[in-house]
Amino acid sequence: QVKDSGRNGYRFFDSSMSHGVQRKLLMDSRLRKALNNNELELHYQPIVELASGKIIAVEALMRWHDAELGFVSPTEFIPLAERTGVINQLGEQALRQACINAQAWQSIAPISVAVNFSSVQFRQCEPLLMKIERILSSTGLDPKRLDIEVTESLLISESGELRQTLQQLQALGPQLSIDDFGTGYSALSYLQRFSFNKLKIDRSFLQHMEHNEPDQALVKAILAMAAALDLKVVAEGIEAQWQADFLTKHQCQFGQGYLYSKPLPAEEFEALLRQQTPL
């Protein structure tokens, strides 16, 4: 921290910051290259019916291993892709790959595939809608088997156009899920104005629930509200049996988390699906 005599007053010198900026610049160019070379890969995490443990759906999650940067978490490269705009290309690749795999898996079991969509992708509503329609028809996946996951951040600046787009999307067949429920800053009234099919309880609510009355009350309240609004619920981040027991006891039907499986490469997920499905 050095006092600068210039007009800007103080200037901060921080070696870790410049390193961070360098890493971002490198990451940006490596990510564009990886997208152009189709180097990103989806992993698949089972979504189970809690009562039976049966896989009823799967969430597609992007994975990126870069030769120079090593493994980069989506919590790092997704926000970067959103800032630079390459999220549109990334999202399209994710959707196409997820639909191709899910279509192939229909011969094993009638599972749905959940794909994450960034709010940024909805800035161009009309092209997005057409892209989704095109990918569904070219891959042959039954549109009813696609779950589109969006976060509350999409609904903050809600417009008539967005509402119409989401309706048109559902008219094509896909289900709409609200991801990371409860962590955004949207007013709950969006639940009346949009017709979501599913709500995913963020794992932060489950984490400290044991011996924690207020957290348990909150999860129970979310489940009661979802039931009243006729929304299906998926609990995210189930790691322990007591969490699954609590959720089942309070009528939560579906869940995903390390207790059941981590996200897996496509072939490993397929093997797991075959294993639980009698021939």
> Applying CB under 5 A, does 116 fall inside the site for Mg ion?
yes
Pairing of strands 232-235, 198-201: parallel
The residue range among 72-80, 137-145, 191-199, 211-219 that interacts with ligand C2E, by the rule CB under 6 A, is: 72-80
In angstroms, what is the minimal distance from the CB of 29 to Mg ion?
A: 26
| Torsion sign, CA atoms 218, 46, 254, 111 | positive
- Say how far apart CA 267 and CA 104 lie, in whole Å: 11
The residue range among 50-58, 126-134, 156-164, 256-264 that interacts with ligand C2E, by the rule CB under 6 A, is: 256-264
DSSP 8-state secondary structure symbol assigned to residue 184 = S
| Amino acid letter, 82 | E
> Applying CB under 6 A, does 239 fall inside the site for ligand C2E?
yes
Per-residue tokens: 250 = 């309070």
CA atoms within 13 A on the CB side of 53: 10
Cβ-contact 101, 114 below 8 angstroms:
no
- Which residues from 132-151 bind ligand C2E, rule CB under 6 A? 149
In angstroms, what is the minimal distance from the CB of 203 to ligand C2E?
A: 6
**Phi-psi sector, 9: left (phi>0), alpha (psi -120 to 50), beta:** left
The residue range among 8-16, 64-72, 209-217, 252-260 that interacts with ligand C2E, by the rule CB under 6 A, is: 252-260
| Torsion sign, CA atoms 168, 62, 256, 225 | negative
Cβ-contact 86, 62 below 8 angstroms:
no
- Which residue lies nearer to ligand C2E by CB, 4 or 75? 75
> Applying CB under 6 A, does 257 fall inside the site for ligand C2E?
yes
> Applying CB under 5 A, does 118 fall inside the site for Mg ion?
no
In angstroms, what is the minimal distance from the CB of 155 to ligand C2E?
A: 15
What residues make contact with ligand C2E under the rule CB under 6 A?
45, 61-62, 73-75, 78, 91, 94, 116-118, 149, 179-180, 203, 236-239, 256-258, 263
* Interface residues toward Mg ion, by CB under 5 A: 116, 149, 179-180, 236
